[in-house]
Amino acid sequence: MTSHLVKLLFKPIQRLLVKFHLPISPSLAYWKGSRCIDVCEEMDYIRLATLDLIASEIRVKIPSNGAVAELGVYRGDFAKMINEAFPDRLFYLFDTFEGFDEKNVHIDRTNNYSSASQDFSNTSVEFVLKKMPHPEMCIIRKGFFPNTATNLDERFVFVSIDADLFEPIYNGLTWFYPRLCKGGYIFVHDYANDSYKGAGEAVRKFCAAFQLAFVPIPDLCGTAIIGK
């Protein structure tokens, strides 16, 4: 109940801050970079600001090679920000574009990770591509992951995994991390989201198996960041 009230109050406050171009946090008061991403009312500031800083790091450390990707695109809100942050890199978008796969739902429910009851089917490839500032750089991979990555020979500098459920997140980490360029990053959304406990479990299991460190950040649903 308290969490629901906080969310209801957060939206109008966030819209006011956006309208008058007021920062939600003074954490980047001395950042001199030219930001490619601004605060928008549908996304949370910490996640966007962290993406922006990491994109700046990647431009310095890995100036030419490497693509970007998102696993779990839904309606393309964060994908739009990735496409804007990396305008000159190929952008692979992996999603069923029809909601959760029943195999993944069964695993989450069996392990009490989540109810997996949310309906994410109100999207389409066409709807998402219309949001992209650089659609010519986007490559759609529609279907069940990792089948949609078969025969893909690519290296990545940045990957967003926002698939909610344990199995696709774990499979995403298993597939993307070996293909991540040195100096690249993976975002795993919902790491600290109690409604999708499989996300945190997937991150912890994967990182423990390969002795990797990760950093959780306090954005709206708690993203975990894995670097290489």
What string of DSSP letters covers 67-119? EEEEE--TTSHHHHHHHHHSTTS-EEEEE-SS---HHHHHHHHHTTS------
What torsion, rounded to 10 degrees, do the Cα atoms 84, 86, 90, 92 define?
-70
Number of domains in the chain: 2
Residue at 219 is within a domain: yes
* pLDDT value at residue 1: 46
Residue 79 amino acid letter: A
Clarify whether residues 65 and 113 are in a common domain: yes
Q: For the whole model, what pTM was predicted? A: 0.86
Clarify whether residues 96 and 186 are in a common domain: yes
CA distance 91 to 128: 13
Clarify whether residues 3 and 73 are in a common domain: no
Cα within 13 Å of Cα(194), Cβ side: 1
**Strand segments (E) across the chain:** 67-71, 91-95, 138-142, 156-161, 180-188, 215-217, 223-227
- Joined tokens for residue 96: 């069923």
Clarify whether residues 155 and 221 are in a common domain: yes
- Joined tokens for residue 94: 């992996």
Clarify whether residues 154 and 220 are in a common domain: yes
Clarify whether residues 9 and 114 are in a common domain: no
Residue at 6 is within a domain: yes
* pLDDT value at residue 15: 67
Residue at 121 is within a domain: yes
Residue with tokens 């008058």: 20
Clarify whether residues 100 and 186 are in a common domain: yes
Clarify whether residues 136 and 160 are in a common domain: yes
Clarify whether residues 6 and 97 are in a common domain: no
Taking only the tens of pLDDT, the chain with its 228 residues reads 445 555 566 667 666 666 666 555 555 665 666 555 555 545 577 898 899 999 999 999 999 899 999 999 999 999 999 999 999 999 999 999 999 999 999 999 999 999 999 999 999 999 999 999 999 999 999 999 999 999 999 999 999 999 999 999 999 999 999 999 999 999 999 999 999 999 999 999 999 999 999 999 999 899 999 999
Residue at 187 is within a domain: yes
Clarify whether residues 21 and 93 are in a common domain: no
Report the CATH number at residue 165. 3.40.50.150
CA distance 159 to 24: 25
Residue at 88 is within a domain: yes
Clarify whether residues 18 and 120 are in a common domain: no
Clarify whether residues 73 and 15 are in a common domain: no
**Nearest C-alpha neighbor of 24 from the set 49, 5, 4, 6:** 49
Domain limits for position 15 = 1-26
